[in-house]
Amino acid sequence: MDRDYCTMDDFDLDGKTVILRAEFNSPIGPDGKILDDKRIRESVPTIKGLEGSKVVLIAHQSRPGKKDFTTMEQHAKRLQRYVKQSVHYVDDIFGSHARAAIVEAEPGDIVMLENVRFYSEEVLELKPEAAAKTVMVKKLAPLAQVFLNDAFGASHRSQDSLVGFTPILPSGSGKLMQKEIDSLTEALRGGGEVVYVLGGAKVDDSISVTKNVLEKGIASRVLVTGVVANVFLAASGMNIGNPNYEFLEKNELTGEIPNAKEVLQKFDGKILMPSDVAINKDGKRVEINVRQLPADYPIMDIGHETIANFSDIIRHSDKVILNGPAGVFENPEFGTGTRDILMAATKAKFSVVGGGHSSAAVEEMGIEDKITHVSTGGGAAIDFLSGKPMPAIDALKAAKKRMMEHVGAKTH
């Protein structure tokens, strides 16, 4: 296949030192342990494909200030279990300790460096040329011959470790990045009745995706669930009740209500909100019609009438793109919405599920083979499907273009 970016097949990687940017950002439980390691497991084919290379793995876990912002030590241990070989974790990113570990390693070894977001320049969003001048890139790039990006889940970001090596080193995609791009490009083909189902708590991203896909005619309808739905219900003029406003306030989401209102007004009839919800009344599921709002209890799922209506739309769609759970599915009382909506997605002609929580639910339900593509990307998958710029993929394309121009100049 003719691609506008290089893949692993385009390089002779044997004996080379390869900087591999992976996506290991995983949900971490209250005990500090990784809850779901899908992203680590999905990177195994790439790492196995580098058996003749010295692999320098760089990745991030969460963001500064967040509870799950932690070291990569347990990620390295999980990877070790899956690749069945030793993974040398180094608690340093580009200091002398990290650089010595890279120099001392042999082809066939895997060195996993520390969380790249421990480094302050990493969290800046920079253009590749500026990112190439950051200290981390300047220290690590001279030690390697090739850069591979397998971090599809972070490819909507423009951070040093994602775009900074591409102007300097021959650069291409890992196998997971390639698989994600192929599957999601397929999802964009054809048209038909395309439905987006947006849930979970990433409200700002969901509003921007809703606007984008409806404006561009990518989706015919957007169904909202989860916290996203609560914001839309509030934006439609409903009083969702004190506990639910308090939740929005605590999570700095009340500012999204006017944005949701603007989108609702612009795309009248194309955004479908729940007609009933399940509230948590002293630990028990109680369903109420949204006309009965305000609720004195937290809304924790969509109700059965909504599940039936949304499922019907999803089953009859040509393509369904689903991101984020419909409710607090970890609690058995409030998991019905998430599970039934996912079951409906298995009946659509083409289905893509993205986001850590939704894909964990897919795995737990054992329906992975009935979903066309379960993406390792949450925000990245949804941005890709909404036609938004993907800086880390664009950086790989620019690297190939530069390489081709260089080859062209040499042969003329």
Residue 157, interface with ligand 3PG (CB under 6 A)?
Answer: yes
**Residue 339 counted as an annotated binding residue:** no
Residue 200, interface with ligand 3PG (CB under 6 A)?
Answer: no
Residues 342-381 that bind ligand 3PG (CB under 6 A): 378-379
Residue nearest to ligand 3PG (CB): 25
CA-CA-CA-CA torsion sign (118, 122, 124, 125) = negative
Residues 21-40 that bind ligand 3PG (CB under 6 A): 23, 25
Whole-angstrom CA distances from 130 to 94, 121, 134, 166, 406 are 18, 11, 7, 11, 21
**Residue 355 counted as an annotated binding residue:** yes
Q: Is 32 exposed, middle or buried (0-12, 13-18, 19+ CB in 10 A)?
A: exposed
| Number of residues binding to ligand 3PG, judged by CB under 6 A | 8
Rounded to a whole number of angstroms, the minimum distance from the CB of residue 377 to ligand 3PG is: 7
**Residue 61 counted as an annotated binding residue:** yes
**Residue 117 counted as an annotated binding residue:** yes
**Residue 291 counted as an annotated binding residue:** no
Q: Give exposure, 185-218, as e/b (b: 16+ Cβ within 10 Å).
A: eebbeeeeebbbbbbbbbbebbbbbbbbbbeeeb
Q: Which of residues 246 and 252 has its CB atom nearest to ligand 3PG in the complex?
A: 252
Q: Which of residues 153 and 337 has its CB atom nearest to ligand 3PG in the complex?
A: 153
Q: What gap in Å lies between CA 402 and CA 408, rounded to an integer?
A: 10
Q: Interacting stretch for ligand 3PG, rule CB under 6 A, among 43-51, 152-160, 278-286, 298-306?
A: 152-160
Rounded to a whole number of angstroms, the minimum distance from the CB of residue 237 to ligand 3PG is: 31
| Cβ-proximal residues to 105 (8 Å cutoff; 6+ apart), any chain | 54, 56, 88, 111
Q: What gap in Å lies between CA 386 and CA 379, rounded to an integer?
A: 10
CA angle 15, 406, 180 (to 5 degrees): 60
Whole-angstrom CA distances from 203 to 76, 99, 198, 306 are 32, 40, 9, 20
Q: Which of residues 157 and 400 has its CB atom nearest to ligand 3PG in the complex?
A: 157
DSSP tag of 28: B
Residue 154, interface with ligand 3PG (CB under 6 A)?
Answer: yes
**Residue 358 counted as an annotated binding residue:** yes
**Residue 29 counted as an annotated binding residue:** no
Residue ranges of the binding site: 39, 60-63, 117, 157, 330, 355-358
Residue ranges of the binding site for substrate: 39, 60-63, 117, 157
Chain residues that interact with ligand 3PG, rule: CB under 6 A: 23, 25, 63, 153-154, 157, 378-379
Residue ranges of the binding site for ATP: 330, 355-358
